[in-house]
């Protein structure tokens, strides 16, 4: 296989992507975005629902002031993440039929990214609280830092690396 044919087989050297109109691209991107949001939305809603119940448990009054503060921050972060990840649905409903889908996709995508960042903060805070209460160990911040590093690698570093490495520029 020649170098140019080999590059084409690997997807390099293409001048254009899909052959679609601006509206078709927006429709496809909207569908992709909604599928992504469904996954994150379900997780954040379950986590947030669980967080709301903690304050009503018998053990809550026994928490230290630091742990109560972490809990409150976690609930606020969870509520914010829930709002951001549900936002694209409301956004779509309110702008539907206005012939601005490309702009709606852009803003819904921004809300989704904000929601993912807030979800990362929520999960970090929740993990910190749970491990502090469960173990009282000095190693807890290190464990949480390791998990956060894993989240960052999976959610942001690896996708951005792949995007940078494999994006075709015109």
- Domain containing 109 equals 20-137
For 150, counting Cβ atoms within 10 Å of its Cβ (0-12 exposed, 13-18 middle, 19+ buried), the class is exposed
d(CA 32, CA 51): 29
| 8 inside domain | no
Domain count, the chain: 1
| 14 inside domain | no
Q: How far is CA 84 from CA 40, 80, 119, 142, in A?
A: 11, 6, 9, 29
Q: What is the pLDDT of residue 26?
A: 86
State the chain's mean pLDDT as an integer.
87
Give 5-29 pLDDT, tens digit per residue.
444 444 444 445 678 888 888 888 9
| 163 inside domain | no
Entry pTM: 0.81
| 11 inside domain | no
């Amino acid at each position: 296989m020649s170098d140019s044919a080999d590059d084409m087989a690997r997807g390099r050297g293409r001048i254009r992507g899909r052959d679609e109109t601006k509206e078709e691209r927006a429709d496809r991107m909207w569908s992709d975005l909604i599928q992504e949001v469904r996954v994150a939305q379900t997780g954040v809603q379950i986590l947030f629902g669980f967080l709301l119940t903690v304050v009503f448990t018998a053990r809550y009054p026994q928490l230290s002031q630091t742990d109560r503060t972490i809990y409150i921050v976690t609930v606020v972060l969870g509520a914010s993440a829930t709002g951001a990840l549900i936002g694209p649905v409301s956004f779509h409903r309110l702008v539907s039929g206005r012939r601005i889908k490309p702009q709606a996709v852009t803003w819904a995508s921004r809300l989704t990214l904000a929601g993912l960042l807030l979800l990362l903060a929520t999960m970090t805070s929740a993990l910190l609280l749970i491990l502090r209460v469960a173990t009282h160990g000095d190693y807890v911040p290190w464990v949480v830092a390791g998990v956060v590093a894993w989240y960052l690698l999976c959610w942001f570093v690896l996708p951005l690396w792949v995007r940078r490495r494999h994006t075709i520029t015109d």
